[in-house]
Amino acid sequence: MKTTFFSSMRWSYKELSLLLLLTLVVVPIGIEWILHDFLQQHFQNSLYAGTMTGLVMAIVFTLGVYAIALRPHQLSWHAVGLRRFSRTYWKWIIVWTIVLIVASLLIVILMDLFQVTTENKKTESLTADMNWLTFSIGFISAAIISPIYEEIFYRGFLYRWFRVKWGMWAGLLCSSFVFTIVHIPTYNTLPVNLISGLIFAWTYEKTGSILPAILIHGTFNGIAVILTALG
């Protein structure tokens, strides 16, 4: 089933171009810059502004995939990997979650050795006014909303597009590269973004489903938020 899933697709360079335009131009300028600045002035709170920005991004990305890649071709969400996976893969979900956590810790240690800061605006906004409301907002945003829409686009659409057109290795590298650069200017997270992008794409490759990636992504982000709150 998985082999057949990655053997063909109905998408062309048109869908790729439009969704990359959305990802690399429309979202950074229209949402992350203009809308975020407006919300920051309105809320006078980085966490609230960032969360609302993330929610709008989730809606835009999800509707973008639906309107550009799915609806014109009369495809269901199965086409971007929203489908069941084998129960036997649960052990690998645990393994890859541990691998990602360990790799991230090693990167943080190396960054500390080279005196590269590991702080970022999202962490600072969460810890600046920590209470149950801000913790809940940060957790839901990072552990639930972001993993779902990011996996739908970066793995469900983008990895599958590169995988079918150019092969597995190109799919792994290209989708992970795009996933990494969209996190600029949070430069200190880029190594972790690259590694996590590769892991998430690999689980999609092995199962034909983005659900394992969503679970690993959500667990990793959730742990990060909890550790930030405790710290």
Single-letter amino acid code for the residue at 3: T
Is residue 113 pLDDT above 60, yes or no? yes
Dihedrals phi, psi of 146, to nearest 5 degrees:
-60, -50
Burial (CB count <10 Å: 0-12, 13-18, 19+), residue 144: middle
Could you tell me the pTM of the whole model?
0.93
Residue 218 CA to residue 179 CA, distance in Å, equals 16
Tell me: the pLDDT tens digits for 124-145?
666 666 788 888 998 999 999 9
Residue 71 to residues 11, 15, 21, 67, Cα–Cα distance (Å) = 12, 12, 18, 5
Is residue 118 pLDDT above 60, yes or no? no
Tell me: the pLDDT tens digits for 39-95?
999 988 888 898 999 999 999 999 999 999 999 999 999 999 999 999 999 999 999
Of 118-122, 150-154, 162-166, 177-181, the least confident: 118-122
Q: What is the pLDDT of residue 217?
A: 98
pLDDT category of residue 121 using cuts at 50, 70 and 90: low
> pLDDT: is 215 or 125 the higher one?
215
pLDDT category of residue 1 using cuts at 50, 70 and 90: low
> pLDDT: is 144 or 186 the higher one?
144
